[in-house]
Amino acid sequence: MAEEHRCQAPQLCANNCGFFGSPATQNLCSKCYRDLQLTEQQSSSAKLALNQSLVATSSSSSSSSSIAVVPVSSPPPPPPPPVVVLQSKPEMTVGVATQANRCVTCKRRVGLTGFKCRCGMTFCGTHRYPEHHGCSFDFKEMGREQIAKANPVVKADKLDKI
């Protein structure tokens, strides 16, 4: 079966969109086939909702009166045209974008070679060391916390004197 597909000449999409279709997708390209399935799904869900509303109205009207109501099927409304959703690009704030690409101390552009300090700022090669940019991060406290976590307090039970 795979050989049959290789031997066939490619066919243009049945919607004349310019792409090639395949017999597996009813001679439609992948985008047109996906749109076709979406419209079919929407129309089937609309028909289901219409039938449920007709059944609900007929059951409520038949329970209130003795006259039987026969639902008349009307042709379904034409499917709505495909909706095109345009995605807008998120707006970037100018202050944050420039801050990440520039050294905080000298405002030099750093690009990919910027150094991220533990205080959260980006610096160039000259100002990357904490003593060169007046870092506000407390390295001593961090060291104390690491030592305290690594070395828990071990306290032995007291021995009775003889």
Q: Give the count of alpha carbons within 13 A of 71, CB side only.
A: 16
Q: Is the pLDDT of residue 135 over 80?
A: yes
Q: What is the pLDDT of residues 9-25, one digit of tens each?
A: 778 888 888 888 888 88
The share of the chain scoring above pLDDT 70, in percent, equals 68
pLDDT band at 64 (very low <50, low <70, confident <90, very high): very low
pLDDT of residue 6: 58
Residues above pLDDT 90, as percent of the chain? 8
As to burial, measured by CB atoms within 10 angstroms (0-12 exposed, 13-18 middle, 19+ buried), residue 32 is buried
Provide the residue type at 88 as one letter. Answer: S
The pLDDT of 89-100, averaged and rounded, is 49
User: pLDDT at residue 41 above 50?
Assistant: yes
Selection from 105, 140, 142 nearest residue 123 by Cα: 105
Q: Are 123 and 135 in contact (CB under 8 A)?
A: no
Distant-in-sequence contacts of 44-48, Cβ < 8 A, 24+ apart: 46/76, 46/77, 47/76
How confident is the model over 74-100, as a mean pLDDT?
53
Residue 91 has pLDDT above 80, yes or no: no
**What was the pLDDT predicted at 147?**
92
pLDDT band at 101 (very low <50, low <70, confident <90, very high): confident
